[in-house]
Chains A and B, each alone.
Chain A
Amino acid sequence: MLNDDIPAQPTPSEDGQAEPGRRGFLKGAGLTAMGALLGTSIPFERNMPPGLVPVALAQDTGAGLMGEKNGLTLLNDRPVNAETPAHLLDDDVTPYERLFVRNNGLVPQHAMDMSADGWTLTIDGEVDNPLTLTIADLQNDFETVTAPLWLECGGNGRAFFQPGASGNQWTTGAIGCPEWTGVRLKDVLERAGVKSTAVYTGHYGNDVHLSGDPSKEVISRGVPIEKAMGPENLIAWAMNGQPIPALHGFPLRLVVPGYPGSASQKYLTRIWVRDREHDGSKMTGYSYRMPAYPVAPGTEVPESDMVVMLDMPVKSLVTFPQTGVEVPAGRPAEVRGHAWSGKGDVAAMHVSLDFGQTWQEAELMAPPNPFAWQRWTANVTPPQAGYYEVWARATDKDGNMQPPVVPGWNPRGYGNNMIHRIALFAV
């Protein structure tokens, strides 16, 4: 299946017979050049029969499923990454068609087929009783929990860092709060009997590396065992009452709210309890890590000084109205949105209509459960006609507030929780 055309996009013609290479790079012995470039991205390339096509080109990206999304901004089609404009995130429970997509690799075939036949989850490592569980085992042997829980990409807000940081250039839309159904990670770990030597979890899925190399891990992240044993984390098989969609980890995934989304492994097959900080793919180097000390923008930070990112910072969005709308001067205009924090509840929400000079407290609802985002609402009154910005600022229970500017530059552009601003034109 090579169906990764995106609906409503022009379909390129199929007459590309050796056209792209006609100016020399693949001139002549096309296969030799192709082998030098494509062939070497598959294992044992030296033994690759002439004409064999790298499996990466045969593996679906999942881009063909993006037609099921509504209004998202596509940042990348291989791997598929797309974010949601703020005004499309107004629902209390984020529907599938509005949930951002963050893939590190290619969507595995079982998910494209929505087939969970024979799926098992292994719990092993620093446990007394290693487990291999079917989805039915999870459903039958543990308490089922249904809860809205937010997920946010660690790099949400990366586009605002100066100088730029490598990775998807997310603005504000790599966040969502669907309702998940599954079992508590804690209950499953307790059934396996976590040993006193346990330090970290290591998560594994079966998504496909961009190179198509089946021996390569796409991503394997984990969390400290103390976080893993928190009651908020789920091993989920349903999202918004339906089987988890292919783009979001069918048939089984972790939901570890409060941490970067990459801790919530998709296509989950194994949880390896480690006796040390997990060192899987994208745990080490610069991935999902921050400098251990504050650095000036653009600093080259040694790899040894990078530490794993844990709790996501306190943050909020204005989801109504859409930025740039007209409102009547001198009359109250409703503004609203959501607030969330990696440490759990948000304590307070404020809005400003004068570029942060004065602030008024917004009404902030309690979440239906821990780690569901919280609805906030306020009325702002532009005193006269003209240009205004609504600034929305969340404060966590320790008194940490969102900053008005991009905080702490870091090499990979993580953790930007700067205040969200929208424009209002009073007329």
Chain B
Amino acid sequence: MSLSQVLSRLARGAALAAALAVPLALPAAALAQGYDPMAPRGGAPGFNPMLPGGAAPGAPSAAAPAESDVPTNPELGGIPDTAGAEETFYLCSACHSMATVTSQRLTDERWDYTWTWMVEDQGMPEMDAETKALILSYLKRHFSAER
């Protein structure tokens, strides 16, 4: 397989990832069955056990960027197109889909732990300090339980 095939495959993975969280058959929303009280809520800041659940029915809300005014990049699996997006996409999607990333809402500490776990346990190459800081700040900005 040539490099261009690898790149094209990565791009295809991105398109697949962008299509994730779409049910393989009829989306529940299309069934017009109304309100699903079990639908999970996206990462609301802070913790309040009295918050009502329930959102639009259908698939779990995965890749909703924290800020709705940030454009997403379909070439990069539909992730928010801000500083660090490309580096994050290439590093993470070398082994797993971007859905593995975009469905998370983690604390900063958990993202740091995840990075270490990926390097020490899962064979991810360690990055230089600058790249590591860039990717981690990107993850903490967009896929956070804190903001």
Contacts and interface: CB of A to CB of B under 8 A. Distances in A.
Interface of A: 2, 4-6, 8-10, 12, 14-21, 23-26, 30-31, 34, 36-38, 40-41, 45, 51, 53-54, 56-58, 63, 66-67, 69-79, 82, 85, 159-160, 162-166, 168-172, 209-213, 216, 281, 285, 297-298, 300, 322-325, 387, 389, 405, 411, 420-423, 425
A45 B103 CA distance: 30
Interface in B96-127: 96-97, 99-100, 103-107, 109-110, 114, 117, 121-125
B84 to A, nearest CB: 10
9 contacts: A9-B22, A53-B5, A66-B24, A77-B17, A159-B40, A162-B41, A323-B37, A422-B37, A425-B34
A303 to B, nearest CB: 9
Ordered nearest first, which 3 A-B pairs have the shortest CB separation?
Answer: A164-B105, A163-B145, A324-B33
A211 B24 contact: no
A211 B87 contact: no
A168 B103 contact: yes
Interface in B2-22: 2-17, 19-22
Given A76-B20, A324-B35, A12 B145 contact: no
A41 B40 contact: no
B38 A172 contact: yes
B20 A74 contact: yes
A25 B90 contact: yes
Given A12-B15, A41-B95, A168-B103, A423 B37 contact: yes
Contacts of B34: 323-324, 423, 425
A162 B40 CA distance: 10
Contacts, number: 226
A70 B25 contact: yes
Contacts of A72: 23-25
Contacts of A76: 20, 96-97, 99-100, 103
B114 A166 contact: yes
A17 B8 CA distance: 6
A75 B11 contact: no
Given A41-B94, A324-B36, A425-B34, A6 B99 contact: no
B22 to A, nearest CB: 7
A26 B24 contact: no
Contacts of A159: 40, 60
B129 interface: no
Given A8-B24, A10-B15, A162-B47, A25 B86 contact: yes
A166 B44 contact: no
A73 B21 contact: yes
Contact of B26 (A63, A66, A71, A75): A71
Contacts of A411: 110
A55 to B, nearest CB: 11
- Chain A CB count within 10 A is highest, among B4, B35, B38, B76, for B38
A10 B107 CA distance: 34
B94 A75 contact: no
Interface string B43-68: 11001010101000101101000000
Contacts of B7: 16-21, 26, 30
Contacts of A36: 125
Given A166-B106, A216-B123, 4 more contacts: A72-B25, A78-B100, A164-B104, A164-B105
Nearest to B86: A25
B20 A75 contact: yes
